[in-house]
């Protein structure tokens, strides 16, 4: 990933941080939105390009970031919501969306970067990610923040980061 991609990705993460703060999100939820912004910038760059080299350079980073992000959410964030009032069903909805994303990721993985189907298949993944991010940021995270409280949301962040690093 070149320095321009890193800069744009970082900038989009910062924009999401600001948005999270305005929405009253803290701790792990603010961090998750920042990650959404960073990977979203990379996804947008790849989706707008037909360049095989751009795909080959950025897709592995996108894939790695998506999988680590979901792993942390599935191991730490969503289980913390189990049995809390006001958030029933969120974990199930997230799991359903995560399963769809995993299938879409597998469909992209099955193709070579120069395959004519790669672009449309990647766009399908990008569209699912956009929908998932919209659900999380507008519905799931605000409800989860309210149910968990500010201190618990902050304490979940290091747990989330540790879960992402587990193999």
Domain limits, the chain:
3-165
Three-state SS at 2: coil
Predicted pLDDT of residue 151: 95
Least confident range from 22-26, 30-34, 71-75, 162-166: namely: 22-26
Predicted pLDDT of residue 82: 86
* CA 153/CA 133 separation, integer angstroms: 18
Q: Is the pLDDT of residue 81 over 60?
A: yes
* Residue 93 CB burial class (10 angstroms; 0-12, 13-18, ≥19): middle
Distant-in-sequence, close-in-space partners of 42: CB < 8 Å, separation ≥ 6: 1, 5, 9, 58, 61, 62, 65
Asked whether the beta carbons of 101 and 129 are under 8 A apart, the reply is yes
Q: Is the pLDDT of residue 68 over 80?
A: yes
At 23, is the pLDDT very low, low, confident or very high (cuts 50, 70, 90)?
A: low
* CA 87/CA 52 separation, integer angstroms: 42
Distant-in-sequence, close-in-space partners of 167: CB < 8 Å, separation ≥ 6: none
């Amino acid at each position: 990933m070149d320095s321009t991609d890193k800069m744009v990705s970082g900038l989009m993460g910062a924009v999401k941080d600001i948005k999270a703060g305005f929405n009253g999100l803290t701790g792990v939820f603010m961090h998750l939105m920042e990650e959404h912004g960073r990977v979203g910038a990379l996804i947008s760059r790849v989706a707008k390009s037909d360049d095989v080299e751009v795909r080959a350079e950025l897709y592995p980073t996108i894939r790695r970031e998506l999988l680590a992000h979901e792993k942390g959410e599935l191991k730490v964030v969503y289980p913390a919501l189990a049995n809390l009032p006001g958030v029933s069903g969120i974990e199930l909805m997230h799991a359903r969306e995560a399963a769809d994303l995993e299938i879409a990721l597998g469909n992209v993985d099955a193709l070579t970067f120069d395959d004519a189907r790669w672009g449309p298949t990647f766009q399908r993944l990008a569209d699912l990610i956009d929908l998932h991010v919209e659900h999380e940021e507008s519905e799931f995270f605000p409800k989860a923040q309210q149910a968990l409280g500010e201190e618990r949301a902050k304490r979940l962040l290091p747990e989330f980061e540790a879960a992402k690093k587990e193999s």
